[in-house]
Amino acid sequence: MFDVILYEPEIPPNTGNVMRLCANAGLRLHLIEPLGFRLEDRRLRRAGLDYREWAQVRVHPDWVTGLAAISPRRLFALTTRGLTAYTQPRFEPGDAFLFGPETRGLPTSLLETIRPTYRLRIPMQPESRSLNLANAVAIVLFEAWRQQDFAGAVLGTAAKGP
Ligand SMILES: C[S@@+](CC[C@H](N)C(=O)[O-])C[C@H]1O[C@@H](n2cnc3c(N)ncnc32)[C@H](O)[C@@H]1O
């Protein structure tokens, strides 16, 4: 329904967390190379990811190839320099969300080239610099999925009493 794109991610446990999140929410995950680690990295494997969590991950050799393969309906770039709150747009199936690398964020040159539909920002306290990448993905993607009434999810059953 939605595509998540990690642009040149650097830290294995972050990508592992996002892989699990995407599998849980039924989202496709795209990793744009170069990665700051090998997919065989034991710190990624240590996340205990199973086949299902690897199955929906695609690795693209560069941004141009990745974008052509994903071909999103709209592209939302998540950046601390965004001017639009992530809660403002009405997301639709086929939208894609682009997140930057942990130490650098999304390069200005990339943002100017791709011209995303919106540059989205997650509100923070004035003295805060940024959120952890995996946390940022979780916040935005669950908002997008919430807007779809958590389509496809099992929302739970009432607990049986004693
Ligand atoms: C650790 S942050 C990068 C920090 C980098 N110094 C910067 O300012 O962009 C990794 C990625 O998480 C996302 N992110 C983190 N905090 C965010 C926020 N408050 N609003 C929007 N995106 C955020 C962005 O995609 C960012 O590129």
Domains and CATH numbers, the chain: 3-147 (3.40.1280.10)
> Which pLDDT band, with edges at 50, 70 and 90, does 120 fall under?
very high
pTM of this prediction?
0.93
Q: What is the whole-number distance in angstroms between the Cα of residue 105 and the centre of ligand 1? A: 6
Please give the structure tokens belonging to residue 83. 């001017």
Mean per-residue pLDDT over the chain, rounded: 92
Specify binding-site residues for S-adenosyl-L-methionine: 78, 100, 122, 130
Q: Is the ipTM of this complex over 0.95?
A: yes
Query: Is pLDDT of 43 > 90?
Result: no
Residues whose CB falls within 8 Å of the CB of residue 100, separated by 6 or more in sequence, listed in order: 7, 8, 78, 79, 106, 107, 133
Nearest CA to ligand 1 atom 15: 131
